């Protein structure tokens, strides 16, 4: 049996010995036949609010927030359509804010690809920095009683528009909605508190859960510190085609998008699998090991205790180098030691949240990584380097027994597998 895994831009094929293989993937939904026409219909007949164009006066300053380059948001299509609805505004009244959260900045080449050369050179583009206090302003008091600062252009705008997409998320349940704001344009101190060990370790901070999820609760509270006037959320298929628009009032639009994503992405399984193959859904999500934790976490939902996860993520951008993720992994002798450090009262270090989740996966199962990272770097990160996927999987199946069931998540974290029981 041959299965294509999403890996980088080209993908990679694996040959699976035996017949006891289950492919776990979202239900494929074809892209909309006319995306632009569907967009116009959605923003002029929104969910729970007024049409986009009617909300904004020509003299008002507008901030439009989009996702950064680590997300497959089709900004190059969505932003021009939004600007067309706002053509009654002078261009110099509009700022496009790239919500980097705590990620690295956007390169000029990436900016051009995300927004198109004409927009990138003709509009005010603001690459958010959570670390530069001169570019932040007070937004209000967060759910934890602490001040929350946000991007100055966003705070000082008269009107605010969010553009995002809804997909399964390993902490927030689903992406989209207010997540564009928080943590997208928040300051690093607020992001650190949002990602504290207790919140990340809560069993409800997980895939597909909105109700009672403390991560999502903070996103919605702190994201709403300043009024948001309109939300444009989409769902996508693996071809990056838009499968649905959810536009209007933020919570109503987000809930509608989550309901659709839940129906298409959640895959029940009768029992755990001793071997699970996963990806990080290819480019742009698999550019670094930090992001690749998502695919590992998806696999961990259905791997047997003590089982094996084979993760295929290109990691061409390294760990990356935007924080302490690599340091946390390298400086601890084992995942258990890493988790013990992170969960100590008062401990706080940038990137601890991703390291915490990765350590949790590693305490449940062994994880092998097929990537462009050097083998020694993979080992120091407590993972097993995989040079040949076919050979590794054949050996794991030999050790587990020829009839051992194997699960494959070719789209990685685009799928939410779960044990449903019988």
Instruction: Identify the CATH number of the domain in which residue 176 sits.
Output: 3.40.50.11440
Residue 364: which H helix or E strand, with range? helix 352-364
Q: What is the pLDDT of residue 257?
A: 97
Contact by Cβ (8 Å): 310, 277:
yes
**Shared domain check, 302 and 277:** yes
| Site of tokens 């904004």 | 56
**Shared domain check, 358 and 311:** yes
Alpha-carbon torsion, ordered 117, 119, 124, 125, to 10 deg: -60
**Shared domain check, 283 and 260:** no
**Shared domain check, 284 and 204:** no
**Shared domain check, 275 and 260:** no
Q: Return the number of other C-beta atoms located less than 10 Å from residue 347's C-beta.
A: 12
Q: Of the listed 128, 169, 195, 254, which one is catalytic?
A: 169
Counting as low any pLDDT under 70, the low residues of the chain are 117-118, 120-121, 322, 421-422
Please give the residue range of the domain that contains residue 373. Answer: 2-26+270-419
**Shared domain check, 334 and 234:** no
169 included as an active-site residue: yes
| Domain end among 239, 264, 289 | 264
Residue 78: which H helix or E strand, with range? helix 75-85
Assign residue 99 a region (left: φ > 0; alpha: ψ between -120 and 50; beta: otherwise).
beta
Q: What is the CATH number of the domain that holds 402?
A: 3.90.226.30
Per DSSP bridges, beta strands 242-248 and 266-269 are unpaired
Q: What is the pLDDT of residue 1?
A: 87
**Shared domain check, 334 and 192:** no
Per DSSP bridges, beta strands 2-5 and 12-15 are antiparallel
**Shared domain check, 99 and 15:** no
| Domain end among 209, 241, 264 | 264
**Shared domain check, 259 and 275:** no
| Helix, strand, coil distribution of the chain in percent, nearest 5 | 35, 25, 40
**Shared domain check, 167 and 197:** yes
Q: Of the listed 45, 88, 103, 332, which one is catalytic?
A: 103
Q: What is the pLDDT of residue 118?
A: 66
Q: What is the pLDDT of residue 263?
A: 92
**Shared domain check, 214 and 311:** no
Q: What is the pLDDT of residue 111?
A: 86
Number of domains forming the structure of the chain? 2
**Shared domain check, 315 and 232:** no
Alpha-carbon torsion, ordered 103, 105, 109, 111, to 10 deg: 80
| Domain end among 219, 239, 264 | 264
The alpha helices in 266-351, defined as continuous H runs, are: 289-300, 325-330, 335-342
- Integer-rounded Cα Rg, in Å, for the chain is 21
CA distance 378 to 358: 13
Q: What are φ and ψ of residue 218, in 5° steps? A: -70, -40
**Which residues make Cβ contacts (< 8 Å) with residue 154, sequence separation at least 6?**
63, 65, 95, 97, 160, 181, 185, 226
Q: What is the pLDDT of residue 70?
A: 78
Six-digit token string for 80: 């021009």
């Amino acid at each position: 049996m041959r299965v294509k895994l999403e890996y980088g831009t080209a993908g990679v094929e694996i040959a699976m010995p035996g017949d006891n293989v289950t492919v776990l993937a979202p239900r494929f939904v074809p892209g909309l036949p006319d995306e632009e026409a569907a967009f116009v219909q959605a923003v002029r007949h929104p969910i729970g609010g007024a049409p986009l164009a009617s909300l904004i006066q020509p003299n008002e300053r507008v901030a439009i927030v989009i996702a950064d380059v680590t997300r497959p948001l089709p900004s190059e299509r969505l932003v021009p359509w939004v600007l067309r609805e706002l053509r009654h505004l002078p261009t110099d009244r509009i700022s496009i804010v790239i919500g980097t959260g705590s990620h690295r900045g956007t390169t000029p080449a990436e900016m051009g690809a995300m927004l198109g050369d004409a927009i990138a050179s003709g509009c005010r583009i603001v690459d958010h920095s959570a670390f530069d206090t001169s570019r932040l302003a007070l937004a209000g008091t967060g759910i934890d009683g602490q001040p929350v600062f946000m991007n100055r252009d966003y705070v000082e705008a008269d009107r605010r528009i969010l553009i995002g997409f809804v997909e399964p998320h390993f902490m927030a349940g689903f992406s989209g909605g207010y997540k564009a704001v928080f943590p997208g344009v928040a300051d690093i101190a607020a992001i650190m508190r949002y990602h504290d060990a207790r919140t990340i370790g809560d069993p409800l901070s997980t895939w597909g859960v909105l109700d009672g999820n403390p991560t999502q609760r903070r996103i919605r509270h702190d994201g709403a510190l300043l009024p948001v006037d309109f939300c444009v959320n989409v769902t996508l298929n693996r071809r990056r085609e838009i499968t649905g628009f959810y536009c209007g009032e933020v919570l109503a639009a987000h809930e509608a998008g989550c309901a659709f994503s839940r129906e298409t992405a959640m895959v029940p399984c009768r029992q755990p699998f001793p071997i699970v193959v996963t990806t990080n859904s290819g480019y742009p999500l698999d550019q670094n090991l930090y992001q690749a934790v998502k695919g590992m976490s998806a696999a961990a939902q259905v791997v047997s205790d003590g089982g094996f996860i084979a993760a295929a993520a290109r990691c061409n951008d390294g760990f990356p180098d935007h924080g302490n993720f690599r340091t946390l992994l390298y400086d601890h002798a084992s995942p258990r030691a890493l988790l013990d450090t992170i969960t100590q009262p008062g401990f706080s270090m940038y990137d601890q949240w991703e390291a915490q989740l990765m350590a949790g996966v590693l305490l449940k199962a062994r994880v092998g990584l097929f990537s462009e990272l050097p083998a020694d770097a993979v080992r120091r990160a407590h993972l097993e380097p995989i040079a040949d996927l076919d050979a590794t999987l054949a050996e794991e199946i030999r050790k587990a027994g020829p009839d051992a069931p194997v699960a494959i998540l070719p789209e990685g974290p685009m799928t939410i597998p779960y044990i449903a029981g019988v």
